[in-house]
Structure 1
C-alpha cells in the first residue's frame, strides 16, 4: 500500500486518500487546486490537514468547492464547537482537550468539511494524530464503504474519548486532595491549586460544553451528507459527551466540597481547642482566685494564724478543681 502523505513540498497534508466501496486507492491524492469532478457512487476522498496556512487552504477550497466563510472559520483555532450548512457541504467544528504539564488543560480544534464525495479534516493544536484511527477504519471495509458520515462519526468519537484520560487524572488529583483535607486543613498552596483546577474546569465547560449541542444536532437534525441510518452512531458520541460533562460537573462539585469540608473540619477542631482552653482556664481560676485573696497584704485575714489553714486551702483547691475537671470531662470539653 502506498504512503498516505501528499507529495507537495511544505504542504501540511498528513494523509490524502481516495476510497471506493470501502477500499483505499494505492496512490495518494495530489492536491492541485483543480476542481474535482463528480465521483462514482460509494467513492469519496478523505483529506487530513494539520495546521495549514491560508494558501494551502485556498488550494483545498478551490479543489473541493468549499465556502470561504467555512474556510475562514477552519483557520481560526479558537472557534467554539458548531454545525453549519453551506449548500451541499456540512461544516462541523469540534474541540479537543488534553492535560498538559502543570495540570493545565490544553485545547485544540478539528474542523470537518463533509460533502457527498469528500471529508476534509483541519486540525489545530491537538497532539493526537488521526493516522492510527485511519488505519483502524481502513481495516473495516464494510464500515468505510458507508461514506464520509461514518468517518465523521469515527473522528468525533476519537476526539470525545480523548476527554476521559484528562478527567480521570483530575479525579485522581481531587481524591488525593480530598483525603488529605480530612486530616489537616489545606495549606495556601493547596487552596490555590484547588481554585486553579476549578478555573480550568469552568473553561472546560465553556469550550467543550457546546460539543453536546453539536452531537445532538447531528442526531436529530436533517443535515446534508448525514444518512438517517447513521444517526444512531452519532447518538453514541452524544452519550459519551454527556457522560464526560457529567463527570466534569461532579469534579467541580468535589473541588468545591473539599474547601467547604476542610473549613467545617477546621472550625470543629478550633471549637474543640477553644473548649479545652476555656475548661482549663476555669479550673486554673480557682487556685488563682484563692491565691489572689490570701496574697493581699491585710493584717486581719481569716485563718492566717490557723495551724491547719495551709492544708485546708489546698484541700479546697484540689476538691474544687477536681470537681470541675470531672464535670468538663463528662461533657466532652476535656
Structure 2
C-alpha cells in the first residue's frame, strides 16, 4: 500500500485517520483539514483519491509521472505543484519529485523516485499544533521548505570538494583523476542547476501571484522560502566560478610546467652540443688538421669545452632555464 500517512486534523491536532475514498472528507469542517501522503501510488489509488477530492485529470497524470520538472499550475480553486527533490546518497545526488495538491481543507502529496519521506516533518509539525493550526497552506510551505533544505547539504559537499581541489592545485599539479573529477563536478552542478531553475520560478509565483487557497498571511513564509532558493542559486554560481578557475589555473600551470621542461631540455641540448661538435670535428680521420700535432692540444680542447659549457650553464641559470 502506497499510503504513508492520511489523517484529519482539527485545530492543529491529529483527529483520526482517513482513507482515500473516505466519504466524510466531502464535509470537512471549516477549521479542519486532511493531509494525505502517498509514495509511488498505483493508477487505481490515484484514481480513487482524484474522484474523492475532485482533482484535475491532467494534474493526476503529472503526479504519477516521476520525471516532471518543477512547476505550479492552477486548476479552478485548486493549486497543483511539482517540486523536484535532491539529496545526497553516499557520494552521489539522488533525484526525485513530490507532487502537491492543495485544495479546500486538504493537502495531498505524491512522492516519486528518491524523494525523502515526510514522516519527520509531519511529526515535527504535530508536536507544534500552533503551526498546523495555520492550515494546509502552511503545510505546503513546510513541505517545500523541507525539500529546499535538502539542497544545502549537496551544495556544501560540492563546495568542500571543490575547495580541497583548489588547495591541492596550489600545492601540486592535479592528476588525471582529479581533472576528471572537475568535469564530473561540473556536470553535477549543471544538472542540479536544471533542477533549481524551475523551483525558483515556482517560488516567485508563490510570492508574486494571487493564487487560490493562499492568503496574504502565508506570503512571508513563501518569501522566506524563495530567499532560501536564491541562497542555493548564489552558492552554486560561486562554486561554478571556482570550479572554472581551478580548471583554467590548472591548465595554465600545466602549460608553464611543460614550457619549463622544454626550456630545460633546450638548454641541456645546447650545452651538450658544444662537446659533441668539437669531438665530432676532431674525430674526423684527416691527416692535415690544425692542432693535431700540438703537445697540449688535447688539454686545450678539454679546457675550451669546459669553459664554453660552464659559460652556457651560468647563462641559462641566470635566465631561469635551468
**Is TM (by shorter chain) over 0.5?**
yes
1:258 corresponding residue in structure 2: 246
Taking the aligned partners of 1:272 and 1:152, their CA distance within structure 2 comes to 61
- CA-CA distance at 1:181 after TM superposition: 3.8
Q: How many residues align?
A: 321
Which piece of structure 1 moves more, 74-83 or 15-24? 15-24
Taking the aligned partners of 1:72 and 1:65, their CA distance within structure 2 comes to 14
Change in Cα spacing, 1:119 to 1:221, as seen in structure 2 (3 Å) is same
- CA-CA distance at 1:209 after TM superposition: 1.6
TM-superposition CA deviations, 1:273-304 (whole Å, max 9, x none): 11111111111111112112211222121121
- CA-CA distance at 1:114 after TM superposition: 0.6
After TM superposition, the score normalised by the length of structure 1 is 0.90
2:235 corresponding residue in structure 1: 247
Change in Cα spacing, 1:160 to 1:200, as seen in structure 2 (3 Å) is same
The structure 1 residue matched to 2:104, chosen from 116, 129, 135, is 116
- Tell whether 2:15 aligns with 1:16: no
After superposition, where does 1:47-126 map in structure 2 within 5 Å?
47-101=36-90, 103-126=91-114
- Tell whether 2:296 aligns with 1:311: no
- Tell whether 2:28 aligns with 1:39: yes
The answer (yes or no) to whether the contact 2:86–2:115 under 8 Å persists in 1 is no
Taking the aligned partners of 1:331 and 1:194, their CA distance within structure 2 comes to 35
Taking the aligned partners of 1:306 and 1:28, their CA distance within structure 2 comes to 115
The structure 1 residue matched to 2:220, chosen from 218, 224, 232, is 232
The answer (yes or no) to whether the contact 1:33–1:60 under 8 Å persists in 2 is no
Change in Cα spacing, 1:15 to 1:109, as seen in structure 2 (3 Å) is same
TM-superposition CA deviations, 1:174-227 (whole Å, max 9, x none): 33333344412421x443333233222222222332000001100110001111
- CA-CA distance at 1:40 after TM superposition: 2.3
Change in Cα spacing, 1:35 to 1:81, as seen in structure 2 (3 Å) is farther
- CA-CA distance at 1:127 after TM superposition: 5.0
Match of 1:92, SS? strand
2:144 corresponding residue in structure 1: 156
After TM superposition, the score normalised by the length of structure 2 is 0.94
The answer (yes or no) to whether the contact 1:33–1:62 under 8 Å persists in 2 is no
Taking the aligned partners of 1:122 and 1:29, their CA distance within structure 2 comes to 16
Change in Cα spacing, 1:240 to 1:140, as seen in structure 2 (3 Å) is same
Which piece of structure 1 moves more, 30-39 or 125-134? 30-39
Taking the aligned partners of 1:127 and 1:46, their CA distance within structure 2 comes to 18
Unaligned runs of 5+ in 1: 1-9
- CA-CA distance at 1:230 after TM superposition: 0.8
Unaligned runs of 5+ in 2: none
Change in Cα spacing, 1:33 to 1:75, as seen in structure 2 (3 Å) is farther
After superposition, where does 1:171-320 map in structure 2 within 5 Å?
171-182=159-170, 183-187=172-176, 189-320=177-308
TM-superposition CA deviations, 1:131-165 (whole Å, max 9, x none): 11111111222221111110000010000000111
The answer (yes or no) to whether the contact 1:118–1:148 under 8 Å persists in 2 is yes
